[in-house]
């Protein structure tokens, strides 16, 4: 809005013309002189590098022209400013205003311009009435829809100014939206970006630019908002040849071809003459534009060196174009400066922002963290950094392609941003990693609450245009709170916490604490060593006896995994099984466990024992159909009677993917194997829920056993769980029996079986065989201490 106003005062303008004329001469002089010097030195010193220099110079020419093309859009923007203030101008008003900004004088390439508006069928009579009341109105030239016919909406040129009023004109009722460029116009409205198209009127050939304009003076961020705020298009037609001619004035041996390509065709605009033997350089100006520069090469002095000659010519050409541009832009040095400022601002923006999502990139974030720390130190407040990572994003890329992956990232960025307050900073670190910075002085919600909010918004599936069903992704977040020596430290700690969140099962957040660093080092070490643990025979099974509560006879043993680490000693399954699950190695190890346990029990059976063997199967193993094959394989190779094998699946594993798990467990059941629900009572599953699985036994979690003696409520809870088992016709087993009093209570509740340290700890196979199996073959009675 401020730009057009500059031209209302005549005196400064005249002054600016002089300044620009002088500036143009100086530019031209320096340019010519500089190019000559450069060409000479290149010819003298470095003919090898001539091509490089030629390329460089052509970049300069190209960027000069790029600015010239951009200028057309700037003119449209200033018209948009006028239209905001005068929403329904008459043609006379528009032309009067256009004269005050000297559009035709300052833009010699401009053929004509005006405003195109969208008119619905219902609005058409009012539109025509308003137009008829305007003596200069477009419709005064006999209004007739082109093409004729009823359509829901028409895109009509309401006001316009033309350089050659006598020349062939667009008919008054020409409907741009029904013409070939209609789609392009609507796309421009939706995207907010200008549309370019080659336009022909009679013999004149030019380029038409349509710039969408919106109420409020800026471009809304979503398609819906853009449609709602849409006012119309400012359309300009210009003749690129004028620009080229200007650039080549007084340059007899140089020619340029500016090509404009749209999806259908290519149109070339030529200027100058290129004698035989000319060299040419082609440059992209923009998606749709390329510039080819031709110049003749002679064979003397500097002219012997083709590169040097091109540099000279192109350098001179660049100076000419620059000088011409300064003259053309001329009346306002401020305009030129603004353009340069915009370019610089644009480049700066590109360097510090992520191209895909437009969010601050790693560089900018690092800078912002340092600022955050300094600010919080000064204000004595506490800031925080959240490191956010999508769970299993690689799967999206692998399954649906990178394009969909990119769209998802854009959607994620938008959604995360929507869940933050203005005071928070969000950036993309690369890949599927984002960072949120929370300023302590603006802490309204704790970082934990922010993390919860982010996890919450991310739980809604993403509706992307190119996937048939909405896409669900989970997120993990690491949080680091407080001061650090450097910004990088805060980020590293948040990353460590993120790693922990992933390790703890994903789709959650964790807050950094210093011990995490050691935990992580140990975890990484274990993860690495586990890879060879099976091959190096460091894994083994121990067996915990299970007794019948009525007569205390030994009925089964549960196989439990142990890892003898070469330097760290014995490692418990609670620590290493989650690592195996995360790395996927659980498949291989689980298969080994099944084989080992079945073989061991088959040997004991061959010696006369009739015990059952219970084997733990991880939820991850149930993610795949081959769990059924692994069980069958263990049974067949060991020769164990399937009726003596029990598979233990935790309640939470059942609930993970109930439909598939039920199918797989039915297949397992068909092998003749029984199924027990492990850690029962911790997963809150209902009777109806359990009924869909072919379950034989409920192993009631040890927290209920240890609570049973402490309060009547706990006893009632145990009773409910046992009753649930009985209603379903299932056997019940109490885990973790540690005291005789617990045993008594369990008997009162008529629990069928029990397992726990009171009865026996898990035992080495040899110990089990020597101390329990051998002495009491077939019907061992527990040796209660
Ligand atoms: P779980 O399946 O619930 O196994 C019972 C755990 O309780 C065992 O711990 C056992 O030593 C312990 N325990 C038994 N009686 C008592 C008692 O009276 N008091 C207390 N406090 N604890 C008792 P362990 O061997 O450390 O195994 C821990 C978990 O690791 C198992 O819990 C199971 O979920 C998993 N696990 C063990 N072996 C395997 C395996 O081969 N495959 C899979 N997928 N998981 C296994
Ligand atoms: Ca178990
Ligand atoms: Ca258990």
The highest-confidence range among 211-220, 396-405, 692-701, by mean pLDDT, is 692-701
**Cβ(701) – ligand 1 distance below 6 Å:** no
Structure-model confidence comparison of residues 315 and 457, the more confident one: 457
In SS3 terms, 735-749 reads as CCCCCHHHHHHHHHC
In SS3 terms, 207-270 reads as EEEEEEEEHHHCCCCCHHHHHHHEEEEEEEEECHHHHHHHHHCCCCCEEEEEEEECCCCEEEEE
Atom 44, ligand 1: which residue's CA is nearest? 618
Q: How far apart are CA 623 and CA 586, in angstroms?
A: 11
Q: In this structure, what DSSP letter does residue 770 have?
A: I
State the average pLDDT for the chain: 84
In this prediction, residue 657 carries a pLDDT of 84
Q: How far apart are CA 212 and CA 231, in angstroms?
A: 8
**Cβ(560) – ligand 1 distance below 6 Å:** yes
Task: Kindly indicate the confidence band of residue 274, based on its pLDDT and cuts at 50, 70 and 90.
Answer: confident
Atom 19, ligand 1: which residue's CA is nearest? 736
**Ligand 1 atom at minimal distance to the Cα of residue 541:** 41
**Cβ(545) – ligand 1 distance below 6 Å:** no
In this prediction, residue 1 carries a pLDDT of 33
In this prediction, residue 332 carries a pLDDT of 56
Mean pLDDT of 91-112: 83
**Cβ(678) – ligand 1 distance below 6 Å:** yes
In this prediction, residue 219 carries a pLDDT of 76
Residues 373-415 pLDDT 10s: 999 999 889 999 999 999 889 888 888 888 899 999 999 999 9
In SS3 terms, 489-521 reads as HHHHHHHHHHHHHHHCCCCCEEECCCHHHHHHH
Judged by DSSP in three states, 545 sits in: strand
**Cβ(573) – ligand 1 distance below 6 Å:** yes
Q: How far apart are CA 80 and CA 438, in angstroms?
A: 38
CA of 661 to the centre of ligand 2 (A): 18
CA of 498 to the centre of ligand 3 (A): 29
CB atoms under 10 Å from CB of 134, counted, come to 18
**Cβ(581) – ligand 1 distance below 6 Å:** no
Which ligand is in closest contact with the Cα of 574?
1
> C-alpha distances in angstroms, 271 versus 240, 244, 257, 276, 464?
10, 6, 7, 16, 47
Phi, then psi, of 155 in degrees rounded to 5: -110, 110
Mean pLDDT of 451-480: 89
CA of 561 to the centre of ligand 1 (A): 8
Task: Kindly indicate the confidence band of residue 207, based on its pLDDT and cuts at 50, 70 and 90.
Answer: confident
CA of 533 to the centre of ligand 3 (A): 24
- pTM, whole model, 2 decimals? 0.53
Atom 23, ligand 1: which residue's CA is nearest? 736
How do strand 697-700 and strand 731-734 relate by DSSP bridges? parallel
In this prediction, residue 512 carries a pLDDT of 96
CA of 621 to the centre of ligand 1 (A): 17
**Cβ(651) – ligand 1 distance below 6 Å:** no
In this prediction, residue 43 carries a pLDDT of 62
| 619, pLDDT greater than 90 | yes
The highest-confidence range among 63-67, 137-141, 598-602, by mean pLDDT, is 598-602
Burial class (CB in 10 A: 0-12, 13-18, 19+), 20: buried
In this prediction, residue 93 carries a pLDDT of 85
**Ligand 1 atom at minimal distance to the Cα of residue 705:** 18
Lowest mean pLDDT among 213-227, 527-541, 544-558: 213-227
Structure-model confidence comparison of residues 764 and 52, the more confident one: 764
**Cβ(160) – ligand 1 distance below 6 Å:** no
CA of 698 to the centre of ligand 2 (A): 11
Close Cβ partners of 404 (under 8 Å, ≥ 6 residues apart): 396, 397, 464, 466, 467, 471
Mean pLDDT of 669-686: 89
**Ligand 1 atom at minimal distance to the Cα of residue 586:** 44
**Cβ(572) – ligand 1 distance below 6 Å:** yes
Structure-model confidence comparison of residues 223 and 20, the more confident one: 223
CA of 523 to the centre of ligand 3 (A): 24
| 84, pLDDT greater than 90 | no
Mean pLDDT of 190-199: 82
Which ligand is in closest contact with the Cα of 617?
1
Lowest mean pLDDT among 199-208, 326-335, 380-389, 417-426: 326-335
| 635, pLDDT greater than 90 | yes
In this prediction, residue 307 carries a pLDDT of 59
134, 101 Cβ separation under 8 angstroms: no
481, 514 Cβ separation under 8 angstroms: no
Which ligand is in closest contact with the Cα of 559?
1
**Cβ(574) – ligand 1 distance below 6 Å:** yes
The highest-confidence range among 323-332, 511-520, 536-545, by mean pLDDT, is 536-545
Atom 3, ligand 1: which residue's CA is nearest? 679
Burial 403-427 (b: 16+ CB within 10 A, else e): ebbebbbebbbeebeebbeeebbbb
- At residue 478's C-alpha, the angle toward residues 475 and 484, to 5°, is 155
284, 62 Cβ separation under 8 angstroms: yes
Determine what percent of the chain is predicted with pLDDT higher than 90: 41
In this prediction, residue 168 carries a pLDDT of 65
**Cβ(74) – ligand 1 distance below 6 Å:** no
CB atoms under 10 Å from CB of 34, counted, come to 15
CA of 567 to the centre of ligand 2 (A): 27
Q: How far apart are CA 303 and CA 47, in angstroms?
A: 11
In this prediction, residue 86 carries a pLDDT of 79
Instruction: Provide the Cα torsion 370, 375, 377, 378; round to 10°.
Output: 140
Mean pLDDT of 97-106: 80
Helix (H) or strand (E) segment spanning residue 173? strand 173-174
Atom 10, ligand 1: which residue's CA is nearest? 762
**Cβ(679) – ligand 1 distance below 6 Å:** yes
Residues 30-63 pLDDT 10s: 777 777 776 676 566 544 444 444 454 455 556 5
Structure tokens at 493: 């700690």
Task: Kindly indicate the confidence band of residue 201, based on its pLDDT and cuts at 50, 70 and 90.
Answer: low
Which ligand is in closest contact with the Cα of 576?
1
| 761, pLDDT greater than 90 | yes
CB hemisphere CA count around 122 (13 angstroms): 0
**Ligand 1 atom at minimal distance to the Cα of residue 679:** 3
| 636, pLDDT greater than 90 | yes
Atom 33, ligand 1: which residue's CA is nearest? 616
């Amino acid at each position: 809005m401020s730009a057009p106003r500059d031209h209302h005062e005549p005196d400064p303008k005249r002054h600016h013309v002089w300044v620009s004329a002088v500036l143009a001469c100086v530019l031209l002089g320096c340019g010519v002189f500089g190019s000559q010097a450069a060409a000479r030195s290149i010819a003298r010193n470095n003919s090898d590098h001539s091509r490089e220099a030629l390329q460089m110079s052509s970049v300069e020419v190209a960027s000069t022209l790029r600015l010239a093309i951009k200028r057309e859009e700037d003119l449209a923007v200033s018209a948009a400013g006028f239209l905001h203030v005068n929403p329904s101008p008459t043609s006379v008003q528009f032309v009067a205003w256009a004269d005050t900004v000297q559009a035709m004088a300052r833009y010699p390439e401009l053929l004509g311009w005006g405003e195109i508006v969208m008119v619905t069928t219902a609005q058409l009579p009012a539109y025509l009435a308003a137009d008829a009341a305007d003596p200069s109105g477009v419709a005064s030239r006999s209004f007739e829809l082109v093409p004729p016919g009823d359509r829901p909406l028409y895109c009509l040129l309401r006001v316009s100014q033309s350089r050659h009023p006598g020349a062939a004109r667009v008919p008054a009722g020409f409907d741009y939206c029904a013409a070939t460029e209609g789609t392009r116009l609507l796309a421009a409205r939706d995207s907010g970006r200008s549309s370019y198209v080659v336009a022909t009127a009679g013999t004149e050939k030019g380029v038409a630019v349509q710039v969408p304009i919106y109420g409020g003076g800026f471009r809304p961020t979503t398609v819906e908002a853009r449609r709602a705020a849409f006012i119309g298009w400012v359309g300009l037609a210009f003749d690129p040849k004028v620009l080229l001619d200007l650039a080549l004035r007084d340059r007899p041996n140089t020619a340029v071809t500016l090509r404009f390509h749209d999806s259908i065709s290519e149109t070339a605009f030529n200027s100058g003459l290129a004698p035989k033997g000319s060299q040419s350089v082609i440059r992209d100006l923009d998606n749709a534009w390329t510039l080819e520069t031709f110049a003749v090469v002679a064979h003397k002095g500097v002219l012997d060196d083709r590169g040097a000659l091109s540099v000279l010519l192109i350098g001179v050409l660049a100076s000419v174009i620059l000088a011409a541009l300064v003259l053309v832009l001329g009346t306002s040095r401020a305009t030129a400066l603004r353009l340069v400022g915009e370019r610089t601002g644009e480049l700066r923006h590109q360097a510090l922002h992520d191209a895909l999502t437009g969010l601050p990139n790693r560089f900018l974030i690092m800078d912002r963290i340092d600022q955050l720390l300094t600010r919080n130190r000064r204000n004595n407040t506490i800031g925080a950094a959240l490191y956010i990572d999508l769970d299993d994003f690689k799967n999206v890329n692998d399954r649906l392609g990178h394009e969909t992956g990119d769209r998802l990232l854009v959607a994620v960025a938008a959604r995360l941003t929507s869940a933050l307050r203005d005071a928070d900073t969000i950036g993309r670190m690369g890949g599927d990693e984002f960072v949120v910075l929370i300023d302590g002085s603006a802490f309204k919600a704790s970082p934990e609450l922010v993390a919860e909010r982010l996890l919450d918004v991310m739980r809604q599936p993403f509706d992307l245009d190119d996937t048939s069903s909405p896409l669900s992704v989970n997120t993990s977040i690491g949080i680091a709170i407080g001061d650090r020596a450097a910004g990088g430290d805060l980020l590293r700690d948040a990353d460590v916490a993120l790693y922990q969140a992933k390790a703890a099962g994903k789709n959650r957040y964790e807050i950094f604490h210093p011990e995490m660093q050691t935990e992580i080092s140990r975890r990484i070490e274990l993860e690495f060593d586990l890879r060879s643990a099976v091959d190096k025979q460091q894994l083994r099974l121990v067996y915990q006896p299970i007794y019948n509560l009525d007569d205390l006879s030994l009925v089964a043993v549960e196989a439990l995994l142990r890892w003898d680490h070469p330097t760290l000693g014995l490692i418990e399954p609670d620590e290493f099984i989650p690592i195996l699950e995360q790395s996927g190695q659980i498949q291989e190890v689980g298969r080994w466990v099944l084989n080992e346990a079945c073989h061991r029990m088959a040997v004991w059976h061959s010696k006369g024992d009739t015990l059952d063997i219970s084997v733990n199967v991880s939820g991850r193993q149930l993610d795949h159909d081959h769990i059924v094959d692994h069980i069958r394989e263990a049974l067949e190779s060991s020769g164990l009677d399937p009726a003596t094998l029990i598979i233990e699946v935790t309640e939470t594993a059942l609930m993970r993917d109930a439909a598939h798990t039920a199918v797989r467990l039915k297949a397992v059941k068909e092998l003749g194997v029984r199924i027990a629900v492990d850690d029962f009572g911790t997963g809150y599953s209902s009777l109806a829920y359990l009924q869909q699985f072919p379950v034989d036994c409920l192993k009631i979690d040890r927290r209920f056993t240890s609570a049973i003696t402490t309060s009547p409520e706990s006893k009632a809870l145990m009773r409910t769980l046992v009753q649930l088992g009985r209603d379903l016709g299932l056997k019940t087993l109490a885990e973790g029996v540690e005291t005789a009093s617990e045993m008594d209570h369990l008997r009162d509740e008529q629990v069928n079986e029990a397992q726990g340290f009171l009865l026996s700890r898990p035992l080495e196979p040899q110990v089990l065989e020597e101390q329990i199996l051998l002495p009491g073959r077939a019907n061992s009675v527990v040796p209660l201490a």
